[in-house]
Amino acid sequence: MEEHVGGWWHDFITRHSEQRHPEAAVALADIQQLLGIWFRALGGDGGLEIATADATLSNARRSLLQRMAGTQRKTELAWRDENALRLPPVIDIFPNPQLNRDLYLWLGALAAMDDESTDEPWFRHNQRISRRALERFPGLRDKYLDLVQAHLEQRKLGHWPADEIAQEQAIRRALIEPGSMDALPPSRRMPVPVPLWLHPNPPQATPMPAAEPPEDPGAGGGKVKELEEVARKQTEKAETQDSDRGLITVRMENIFSWGEHVNVDRGTEDEDNDERADEVARDLDKISVTRNGKAAKTRIRFDLDLPAEAEDDEIISDDLMLPEWDWKKRQLLADHCRVVELVARDAQAIALPKRLDRTAAKLRSQFQALAPARVWHRARPDGEEVDLDAYLRYRTDRASGCQVAADNLYRQMNAGARDLACLLLADLSLSTDTWVNDESRVLDVIQDSLYLFAESLAATGDQFGIYGFSSRKRDPIRIHTIKTFEETYNGRIRGRIRALTPGYYTRLGAGIRYAAERLKDQGAGRRLLLILTDGKPNDLDQYEGRYGIEDTRHAIQSVRNLGFHPFCVTIDQKGNDYLPHLFGSSGYVVIRDPMELPGQLPLLYARLTAQQH
């Protein structure tokens, strides 16, 4: 009975303390694609993705019911960082779902105006970008005023101290007329959060210094688990805590608080209970990180080991160095990435897999129609037949008394040729080891795509090369040679395709720069770089996030400056979020069903080359 009454009381007090309207809720997941288009159309940074914002602690005044229920301690506000525009996962603060949806759109417009002026107080900064958004997009004014009116009805003044009342009145006036208030009156307490503005103090991550290797790298020897993506947390560096000190030195009130110290060592999370480590990381608002040399039974690892040399592909070359773009420094770092070129050891010649015979025959028939028709080359010194036009001109000139030589009187039938070269660059990162269905991995789909692509292009006579790539930081960038431009497509090339295995990470900028070096050697007038991938650029170091996106974008622009035509084919369902920033609106395609990729890739090539021909 006691538990029943307690549960009833908890539900009652929580329901009456929460200022939420779940029946009118709008989820970010339902509007995320629209918001991405909206944000970029209004001038927002194309390199930012749309992501969820983590709830942060608020020191604002709470009502008696909220304090009793323990609610409203955290709030979800929007902010942007170098990687993403972060928005609340659900907005349900208004009873009207249209208002909740309009709030998402307003926050997107506000973030598009944000120039990240870190030296400007948040109160003045939010007013300035609000006024800027309303001036640039007058059509937003009615929606904004409706949001302000609905929100002001929720901001009820109570019997507050004079300083808090003055602060609240300043916020109200700033909402109604952005730019009218220069500064927020001082108060001992933070004001009630403003969901129409960006976060006044968004979480900022602190980079960790390089860690010392643990005393016993092999200790623990337990299972390995990958850490899943979590919301952005605020971090701080801290001194190593001494777990052996006596209880007498610990403040007793800390015994019942959340433990905020997390051991992080060389990209590993040391914790005896891996599920608990994951839960704690998600619940904390700020994570303190230090270094120590201890290992635990379970370790969440982010690194991968390279295979032994005897089991790895054969190294062709390892001395090519490539640059990389540092978007923060606005500088191209020369000789930053080392390329290791590999080829499959002892790849045996094989026939085309039987399951692809029918599709390959159909594609070969279609692609043979793309090959230029055989044409007569006239006025040749020798050839298959006499060129009647040239001979008649010769006899006419002689009859008129002109002394002309009896040469170039034949014609020769030769096959035409398309002045075109294509390099297919395939992403062979670890993610290709995931399963598409119960029978096929992503890598299996990529292999079938390469088979059919090569069969099709061999039918046209076009020059083409096929390479795969993966990376493990900037050294090495592993380039797998599948078919060079000089090689003829045959059973051995098919054997190399079959020998492909999942690699490591996706340093896409380096892969693109390597492909450009190979295309430079081709004399064709039109050169196409076709990129096949299943996800975003990423690697173990800072390449994850905005750094990798901007380096890839710089590499693509460099390829275009050379006169080449880059085009991306991806099976990443989130590709529309970042590929327009990299390749432009017409420089990529997202294949929704990965199983359709093998048949679609050759046809896509046919359309691309038809446009260029």
Query: What's the whole-number mean pLDDT along residues 541-570?
Result: 94
| pLDDT of 308 strictly over 70 | no
Query: What's the whole-number mean pLDDT along residues 541-555?
Result: 92
Band of pLDDT at residue 63, cut at 50, 70 and 90 = low
| pLDDT of 119 strictly over 60 | yes
Among 109-118, 248-257, 373-382, where is mean pLDDT lowest? Answer: 248-257
pLDDT of residue 395: 83
pLDDT of residue 256: 38
pLDDT of residue 296: 45
Q: Where in the chain is the domain with CATH 3.40.50.410?
A: 345-367+419-467+490-513+526-612
pLDDT in tens, 164-217: 889 889 999 999 999 999 898 888 877 888 999 998 888 765 444 444 444 443
Distance of alpha carbon 528 from alpha carbon 525, whole angstroms: 10
Q: Dihedral, CA atoms, 345, 349, 351, 352, nearest 10 degrees?
A: 40
**403 or 58, higher pLDDT:** 403
CA atoms within 13 A on the CB side of 258: 14
Band of pLDDT at residue 163, cut at 50, 70 and 90 = confident
pLDDT of residue 576: 86
Enter the CATH code of domain 345-367+419-467+490-513+526-612.
3.40.50.410
* Sign of the torsion formed by the C-alpha atoms of 227, 230, 236 and 240: negative
Q: Which helix (H) or strand (E) holds 375?
A: strand 375-380
Band of pLDDT at residue 402, cut at 50, 70 and 90 = confident
pLDDT of residue 486: 94
pLDDT of residue 298: 44
pLDDT of residue 552: 97
Asked whether 513 and 408 are in contact (CB, 8 A), the reply is: no
For 542-577, the three-class secondary structure string (H helix, E strand, C coil) is: CCCCHHHHHHHHHHHHHHHHCCCEEEEEECCCCHHH
Asked whether 296 and 270 are in contact (CB, 8 A), the reply is: yes
| pLDDT of 249 strictly over 60 | no
- Is the bond leading into 217 cis (omega within 30 degrees of zero)? no
Query: What's the whole-number mean pLDDT along residues 58-83?
Result: 68
Average pLDDT, the chain: 80
pLDDT of residue 286: 53
CA atoms within 13 A on the CB side of 71: 16
Query: What's the whole-number mean pLDDT along residues 293-314?
Result: 58
pLDDT of residue 289: 52
**204 or 95, higher pLDDT:** 95
pLDDT of residue 396: 86
* Sign of the torsion formed by the C-alpha atoms of 71, 72, 73 and 79: positive
